[in-house]
A and B are shown apart, each in its own frame.
Chain A
């Protein structure tokens, strides 16, 4: 993936660039708002990572300008402001996701990989298939190897989200945000408990487990 990182903290930026490079992504860097905006509108990127508070030009105003120019490149906002309101204003300005500093790199990586436009099967898809597991969004039916699996509504949404991003890591906070629509940080392993229930429903009795736990990061579904 080709990523543009607009971040004024050089140390944080060089760490991120190196880590993204190790994950196999090409990252360009802009250290201030104006340069970042010029680069973002001049070149085609898969994902933009924009710090909210930047010298010379505010991160949100960059996103607003890009959106006004019909530039739909996915944007992940990085911010030290973590209040609910800050998140709402960030997303309202046209950002696609919001990550509060400090963050784990695995969290950031998982989020940009899910954001990247080339990779997703798309919101419009009516059914997903991973190996012998299939999910139909319209009839809300889940089958594995021809056998119908009965899921609770929340379990269905969990699986739907995982399958929509099949082959990619989704973190616990991403699940809480997208499946439950809450943004706080639970102290207990609440997501893990739900995942283990889901796993027992879809993987039990099958030789190849589809739902995998990625240590230190989150979950992934793939065959």
Chain B
């Protein structure tokens, strides 16, 4: 029997996402994703001081806080020809690393884990067996029987209170949960530990940027100052604090996150053949070791893979008007030049034009426009962005450290290389890059200390700070790798003010609606073929959607064979 279902809201994400899928023989055969919230940031930015844009765009997202601020500073610096001091690049790299460490760990434990881990089942676990399991995979000190007994007691008391809070109405007991009770208890214990740890690593932002979420950035460098002989600037105490946080992060990733990821993955190897979706991957790259203008020096190399062919890495140019274009054929916007023409972001327009159903509504008109997301394409191709894309480009670029961690994981799980192109592959790639980033952060820190020791304490350049020095007109593009993938901003400056500002964010690449040719973007494509064993509990659908770590708001709808809408609430 065929069915259509609606899931709205998709939870454990950032933002508002709606998904509508059609199910046949317990598999998804068609899917539509819709972003259901818009704020008009690009309209608001017009006419403002370009040096303020980082603060506005940082507020695009508080989960991947910093990434838009970084992209924005680079965009303005690109437009004005500003080259920031090497130490500023290192501090930005450290803030980048702290963001990725926190974001990926929170995604795994707090946004994604409940798709794989049955909290209620953990009550049946034997603490002794749990301790043995934990000790067999990690030297983490909190592995004792007493520790797991206490956690279990706490969860039991919570469940018996009858107030399940965030765990109420979960899909507990669903047959798709495969972990034994002991693995569930271990994961629940680490859910709580990760919650406590994540608030520590962000202190790297607090030290360099004054606060988190939304630390401060600055066009031309970073706002902090170094004075190793003064009490009111970055000195030995501040740096020792950062070092301690980075050391602790590496320990947590190596001893908790990675062992948990591999242990959980080993029970879900079948997901290595589900949710692959698109075959093209895009990475702008980041973490420069010789300045942002030298992409060859990036720890995350830049490049494109087409058709899953790992033997060739293609080049991407964000300034080329023929490469990246945004379409609005299925988005609630209008272009002066018509509905089906793409626009490079420098020529981009943001004219809101809602043509969807009047709320309250049960169903979007997916034949027409159905989302607030525009649809970006590279040379007309849909591209997946994110951790999997980064690991593949690193691997295909012949970087040894990438090949080592990827091969280690494939061997550990005893799965073929093709398992990378999947829901499981995406989730594993996120963990593996976290491991790389934890190591790189310490390299950046050592380099910064070495520079200071040799007398370089510069963190900001005053070049082009004063708008009086700017040309009448300038345009720029800035890129970074957000935790969720390739991110770029484009700016046009006229008479010292923003004339046009456009953002193409990772979730726009991944979660956008179809293009004029009817090609699906990454979310929709990856949902095709995803099993749904019980349409009343869209657990597997969440696994695939969450493997992207969505950073928007969407919802899922399910339709019957003839395309008529079945109100899911009635069938639940």
Same complex: no
- By a beta-carbon cutoff of 8 Å, the part of chain B in contact with chain A is none
